[in-house]
Every structure is written in structure tokens, then in C-alpha cells.
């Protein structure tokens, strides 16, 4: 049996090609898998479980079908959809992972999984914003606002973030290797899997440790498959 990992699908209503290919991926590649781990940013924006559209329901139906066929589905929040809650997860039949990083034990190998934004510790401004955004009290206040106001705020934040990113250096935006080593030493993990940076690749940290980065779904799809102690990095061409 295989276990699949994806991140940064960034689904949007207007991006029908990405949606179609992700749905195809669920129906073909993952249909007989033991589990699917979604490591954040499944959706480009998320303003609350009470603000669902046709895209959200379409994805929910596909994930629910997958889980009913026996594939466990797990979701770890990203920086775009950290407000995705228990209500929507229940519709999808998927389990919300409780913390920003998780340990998976496969045979005797420990794998640490996370979205990846917490690794970008050089970006002090973003980390401060992230700290505020994860405050449960502030989240509840935000979710109490009318849907239109929430959407307006989210769009403003995303636009501002994109503009600021242009002026940031690669060193600021990229992961901090020391932070990676700290996490792997603390968890005793041999493999780290994450997304967020949109720079797919395999990085060997030592002879026994490696970091695997998932790419974003734009013109191509990206997934990792682990089965029988083998790791496959899938680059999925869009039809």
C-alpha cells in the first residue's frame, strides 16, 4: 500500500485546469492508497467553513469518496487555509492534524511532515504575522465578521503579501537550514517532507537524512509516494 503527500495545490474557482487535474489525481493515483496527507494550502484562500462555494463542495465530494473507499485522508494547515475547520473536514471525511508538524512512523523510519512556513525563520515580519494569525481569540473575532468583510480582508492581506515578497531576498523567503536540523534532531526523524516554498526537490542533509520539498500545482502537479520503503517523487503533467 502507498502513502501520498501533496501540498500547495492552491485551488481557485477560476483555475479549472488545476482543479480538474487534482480531481483526476484523487480518482486515479490515490484511489487504492492507504493514506493521503495534504500538507497545507489546498485552497488559495479560506475565509471560514460557513463560506463554501461549488469548488469547495466538489473537492469535498471527491475526498469523501476517497475515504469511503478506504483511503485515510489527513490535513495539515498551510498559511493560506489555516482557518479550515472541523465542519469542512467532516464533510470531506478527512482528519485535521492538531499541530503544525507531525511525526509519521513507517516501519523503523520516522518522517516529520509540516507545511513549511515555520521553517522560514529569516522572514521576521511574516513570522510575526503568523503568530498573530494563529491566535484562537483573533480567529474567532475574524470568523464573527460578515463573509464579505472577511473576503475583503483576506484579499487585501494576500495582495499586500505578494507585493512585499517582490522586495524580499531569497535568503529571507527561503527555509533556515539550522531550523530544519533543530527539528530533525529533536524528533529524531530521518526524512522531512514539506511544501510552501514552491521549490520541489530532494536535499540530502547527511548520509541518513534528507528533506523532500513538494512543488506547487500550477502548470504541473507534484506528489510524493512512499511504499515498501521506496520513495517516488511524481511530477504530474496536466492534460
Q: What is the pLDDT of residues 42-52, one digit of tens each?
A: 999 999 999 99
Query: Which 3 state secondary structure label does DSSP give 113?
Result: strand
Q: Is pTM beyond 0.85 here?
A: yes
Is 125's pLDDT higher than 60?
yes
Put the strands of the sheet holding 95-96 in their side by side order: 95-96, 72-75, 35-38, 3-6, 220-227, 230-237
Residue 179's pLDDT band (boundaries 50, 70, 90)? very high
* Closest residue by Cα to residue 190 from 204, 207, 210: 210
Burial of 7 (0-12, 13-18, 19+ CB in 10 A): buried
Burial of 15 (0-12, 13-18, 19+ CB in 10 A): middle
Distances (CA, A) of 117 to 66, 89, 198: 28, 22, 11
Using the 8-state DSSP alphabet, how is residue 168 labeled? S
Helix-, strand-, coil-residue percentages of the chain, each rounded to 5: 40, 25, 40
pLDDT at 14: 87
pLDDT at 159: 83
Question: How much is the average pLDDT of 101-123?
Answer: 92
Residues, the chain: 239
Question: How much is the average pLDDT of 84-100?
Answer: 95
Phi/psi of residue 48, nearest 5 degrees = 140, 150
Distance CA 162, CA 6 (A): 23
Is 169's pLDDT higher than 70?
no
Distance CA 125, CA 123 (A): 6
Q: Average per-residue pLDDT in the chain?
A: 91
Distances (CA, A) of 72 to 5, 24, 92, 98, 204: 12, 18, 11, 16, 29
Of 145-154, 159-168, 224-233, which range is least confident?
Answer: 159-168
Amino acid at each position: 500500500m502507498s502513502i501520498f503527500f501533496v501540498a500547495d495545490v492552491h485551488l481557485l474557482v477560476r483555475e479549472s485546469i488545476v482543479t480538474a487535474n487534482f480531481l483526476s489525481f484523487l480518482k486515479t493515483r490515490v484511489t487504492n492508497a492507504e493514506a493521503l496527507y495534504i500538507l497545507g494550502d489546498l485552497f488559495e484562500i479560506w475565509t471560514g467553513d460557513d463560506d463554501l462555494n461549488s469548488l469547495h463542495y466538489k473537492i469535498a465530494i471527491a475526498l469523501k469518496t476517497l475515504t469511503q473507499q478506504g483511503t485515510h485522508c489527513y490535513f495539515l494547515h498551510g498559511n493560506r487555509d489555516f482557518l479550515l475547520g472541523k465542519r469542512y473536514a467532516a464533510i470531506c471525511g478527512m482528519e485535521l492534524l492538531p499541530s503544525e508538524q507531525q511525526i509519521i512512523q513507517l516501519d523503523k523510519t520516522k518522517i516529520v511532515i509540516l507545511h513549511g512556513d515555520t521553517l522560514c525563520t529569516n522572514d521576521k515580519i511574516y513570522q510575526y504575522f503568523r503568530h498573530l494569525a494563529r491566535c484562537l481569540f483573533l480567529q474567532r473575532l475574524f470568523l464573527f465578521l460578515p463573509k464579505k468583510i472577511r473576503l475583503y480582508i483576506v484579499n487585501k492581506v494576500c495582495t499586500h503579501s505578494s507585493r512585499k515578497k517582490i522586495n524580499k531576498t531569497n535568503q529571507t523567503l527561503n527555509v533556515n537550514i539550522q531550523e530544519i536540523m533543530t527539528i530533525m534532531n529533536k524528533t529524531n526523524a530521518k526524512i522531512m517532507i514539506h511544501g510552501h516554498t514552491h521549490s520541489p526537490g530532494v536535499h540530502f542533509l547527511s548520509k541518513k537524512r534528507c528533506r523532500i520539498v513538494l512543488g506547487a500545482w500550477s502548470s504541473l502537479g507534484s506528489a510524493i509516494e512512499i511504499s515498501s520503503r521506496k520513495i517516488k517523487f511524481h511530477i504530474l503533467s496536466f492534460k
